[in-house]
Amino acid sequence: MNALLVEEFGKLLGPMQQRDKDEALQIKMDELKTLMMNDSWLYIRAGTKIVHEVHKARGGLIRADFEVREGRLGRVCLSGDFFYFPGKAVTRLESRLEGRPTEEAPTVLTQFYSEEGIEIPGIKVDDWMKVLDVRGR
């Protein structure tokens, strides 16, 4: 593996050890290559920004992957290592954010927390905004 890649990924993921690929991994890599190297997967519309952000909140690590197209959130995927209740709360939050103008994210989050009765210990609206705020990007 490229030494620079090992160094950079190591900063994010911790120490890395080189290993040989086993047959199952190679089969999966070949399968994904077929899927991800076709034109429908690679096409990104001009003016679309792909965003991946991570934030360590008191309640755990939160991640957001999404697109910004014409000032609107799209393909919102929220994840992390935190606990929440009820069980489908994060999926419902993703749905509420989908298609909304980026500047409405704080309002959507505040309403979501107050209306849904969601419990995410140690993660507040401000924490979500650290991964959803696209200003200056």
Q: pLDDT tens track of the chain, all 137 residues? A: 578 888 888 888 888 877 788 899 999 999 888 877 776 666 666 778 889 999 999 999 999 999 998 899 999 999 999 888 888 889 999 999 999 999 999 999 999 989 888 889 999 999 999 999 876 55
Helix (H), strand (E) at residue 10: helix 3-13
- Give the domain range for residue 34: 3-9+17-42
pTM higher than the cut 0.85: no
Q: Are 63 and 125 members of one domain?
A: yes
Assign residue 83 the CATH number of its domain: 3.30.390.50
Q: Based on the structure, what is the number of domains in the chain?
A: 2
Torsion of CA 33, 80, 128, 70, to 10 degrees: 10
Is residue 37 located within the same domain as residue 58? no
What is the predicted pLDDT for the residue at 72?
93
Q: Provide the pLDDT for residue 42.
A: 60
Do 79 and 33 reside in the same domain of the chain? no
CB hemisphere CA count around 131 (13 angstroms): 25
Taking the C-alpha atoms of residue 22 and residue 93, their distance in angstroms, rounded to an integer, is 38
| One domain, residues 107 and 58 | yes
Across 1-137, the runs of DSSP E, i.e. the strands, are 48-57, 60-69, 72-80
State whether 61 and 34 are in the same domain: no
Residue 39's pLDDT is 65
Per-residue confidence (pLDDT) for residue 3, from 0 to 100: 80
Residues 54 and 121 in one domain: yes
List alpha helices for 14-122, DSSP H.
23-36, 39-42, 89-97, 105-116
What pLDDT score was predicted for residue 86?
86
Contacts of 88 (CB under 8 A, 6+ apart): none
99 falls within a domain? yes
Q: Is 137 a domain residue?
A: no
